[in-house]
Amino acid sequence: MRNFQINFITNTATIRWLKILRAFEKNYQCSTQGLAKISGSTTRTIVTDVTDLKEYFGDCLSIDSSHKGYIFPIKHSAVYLTKKRALIANEILFHIIESIFHNDLYSSSEWAEKYHISESTVLRYLRKVQPIFSFYRLEIQTNPICFIGEEINIRKFFHDFYYESEITAHTIFPPIAIQNITASAFSRCYQLDQHACSFGEFNYYLYITFERHCAGQGIELPKQIKKIFE
């Protein structure tokens, strides 16, 4: 998982696991000391994490020991990816961002009740990722929890979180109707040789635009651009 999304994970063991898996995916053989350095932990913790990873992934993954460290062959890629994505299935910040995207908003106290944690813990998690929101010139309102900032910046954040980052259990996918619109638009653009982004990127921008527009979060466009969009 890319660094962008790792910042939104609250479980420290999950963060270590994902860093270890990413290291293995880049180089199928890694030393214990190297993994400790990458994950910011001790060699003793790495030994425990590797044992737990073996148990969690089961037959889809084999982690073998050698005199040079660990060897990491993936036996069943599809199952491996499904289990890897499931590691963050219950991460609260991913659920909060998803709820903001769908305009299904809850207060910090309601999120605390959902996750059986204190409200102060929810607020602490949000403060931890505020520097990332600040990069997009956004802040977080807590009652209910939602973004405060210019709509164009909110849409840019959603694009980077869902399209530019690795697929997770929380990734949203544009529905068929949006894909059909994108296909039609791209067909005309290719005829005119006027395309400035990929099909997938435009697909996500369009989906985010429609979702935010339907939630009453519009953007004032210049008349010419508005006419093209409509």
142 three-state secondary structure: strand
* pLDDT score recorded for residue 208: 92
Contact 50, 21 (CB under 8 A): no
Domains of the chain: 3-86 (1.10.10.10), 104-162 (no CATH), 176-229 (no CATH)
Q: Match 């999950």 to its residue by tokens.
A: 14
Count the Cβ atoms, other than its own, within 10 Å of residue 180: 11
Question: pLDDT in tens for each of the 230 residues of the chain?
Answer: 457 888 999 999 999 999 999 998 888 888 999 999 999 999 999 999 999 999 999 989 888 887 778 888 888 999 998 999 899 989 999 999 999 999 999 999 999 999 999 999 999 999 999 999 999 999 999 999 999 999 999 999 999 998 877 777 777 788 888 888 888 877 766 555 555 677 778 888 889 988 898 888 888 777 887 777 67
Could you say which DSSP state residue 117 is in? S
* pLDDT score recorded for residue 1: 43
Q: How far is CA 42 from CA 13, 47, 94, 128, 161, in A?
A: 13, 9, 28, 24, 31
Residues 6+ apart with CB under 8 A from 129: 7, 8, 93
Rounded CA-CA distance 77/186 in Å is 32
* pLDDT score recorded for residue 163: 86
Could you tell me the two tokens for 62? 């084999």
Cα 173–chain centre separation: 12
- Written as one string, the DSSP assignment of 143-167 is TTEEEES-HHHHHHHHHHHHTSSPP
Beta bridge partners of 148: 139
* pLDDT score recorded for residue 193: 56
* pLDDT score recorded for residue 153: 94
